[in-house]
């Protein structure tokens, strides 16, 4: 009877194209999909053989989803740290009150961004966070450039309201 690790790695080899598409959908145009696939392989190789996995395919897809989500969160965290460094250079020291106000403002904007309706959230993420042009977003989502413009404008307006505490 094959071990869990060998079963999962064999399945990963067969399912790689579909897993790659899944990870790319989760991450968007990040380019980190191959890194996630490699992480899946390392995790699959390390699965212990104590008890057989009932549904190895479901296990592998859940692993791919979880690792892609983690990768996306880490990328977002790094981007925030980098933005903080460039926005608040080493010479600028914020008072405790200014830091608290900025943190509150950031939390309001992040909460508003998380609650943007679809497809506004996806369009905003692709255009403003992943750097695709409005024309590229329109082609990818099979909508007009005007539709993309309207959604981006709507998102920016909602985030501005949240930033101003409305």
- Asked whether residue 61 is assigned to any structural domain, the reply reads yes
- Asked whether residue 86 is assigned to any structural domain, the reply reads no
**Helix, strand, coil % over all residues of the chain, rounded to 5:** 75, 0, 25
27, 39, 77, 93 from 74: Cα distances, Å: 11, 14, 5, 26
Q: What is the mean pLDDT of residues 66-77?
A: 86
- Asked whether residue 52 is assigned to any structural domain, the reply reads yes
pLDDT at residue 5 is higher than 90? no
Q: pLDDT grade, residue 135 (50/70/90)?
A: very high
- What is the spatial distance between Cα 105 and Cα 160, in angstroms, rounded to a whole number? 10
Domain extent at residue 9: 4-77
pLDDT digits 0-9 by tens, 88-107: 555 566 678 877 888 888 88
- Asked whether residue 44 is assigned to any structural domain, the reply reads yes
Rg of the Cα atoms in the chain: 20
- What is the pLDDT, as a whole number, of residue 94? 65
- What is the pLDDT, as a whole number, of residue 131? 83
- What is the pLDDT, as a whole number, of residue 38? 92
Q: What is the pTM (predicted TM-score) of this model?
A: 0.49
pLDDT digits 0-9 by tens, 13-36: 999 999 999 999 988 876 788 889
The answer to whether the CB of 66 falls within 8 A of the CB of 59 is no
Q: How many domains does the chain have?
A: 2
Q: Which residue has the higher pLDDT, 59 or 79?
A: 59
- Asked whether residue 148 is assigned to any structural domain, the reply reads yes
- What is the spatial distance between Cα 66 and Cα 36, in angstroms, rounded to a whole number? 10
100, 113, 137 from 106: Cα distances, Å: 10, 10, 26
Task: List, in order, residues 6 or more apart from 95 with CB less than 8 Å away.
Answer: none
CATH of the domain at 155: 1.10.10.10
Task: Answer yes or no: do 71 and 123 share one domain.
Answer: no
- Asked whether residue 60 is assigned to any structural domain, the reply reads yes
- What is the pLDDT, as a whole number, of residue 87? 58
């Amino acid at each position: 009877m094959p071990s869990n690790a060998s079963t999962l790695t064999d399945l990963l080899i067969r399912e790689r194209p579909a897993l790659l598409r899944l990870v790319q959908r989760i991450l968007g145009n990040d380019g980190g999909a191959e890194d996630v696939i490699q992480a899946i392989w390392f995790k699959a190789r390390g699965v212990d053989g104590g008890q057989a996995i009932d549904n190895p395919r479901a296990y592998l897809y859940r692993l791919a989803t979880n690792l892609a989500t983690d990768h996306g969160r880490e990328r977002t965290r790094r981007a925030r740290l980098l933005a903080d460094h460039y926005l608040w250079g080493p010479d600028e020291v914020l008072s405790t009150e200014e830091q608290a106000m900025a943190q509150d403002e950031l939390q309001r904007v992040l909460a508003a961004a998380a609650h943007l309706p679809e497809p506004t959230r996806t369009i905003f993420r692709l255009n403003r966070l992943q750097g695709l042009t409005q024309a590229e977003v329109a082609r990818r989502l099979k909508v007009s450039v005007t539709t993309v413009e309207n959604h981006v404008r709507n998102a920016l307006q909602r985030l501005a309201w949240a930033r101003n505490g409305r």
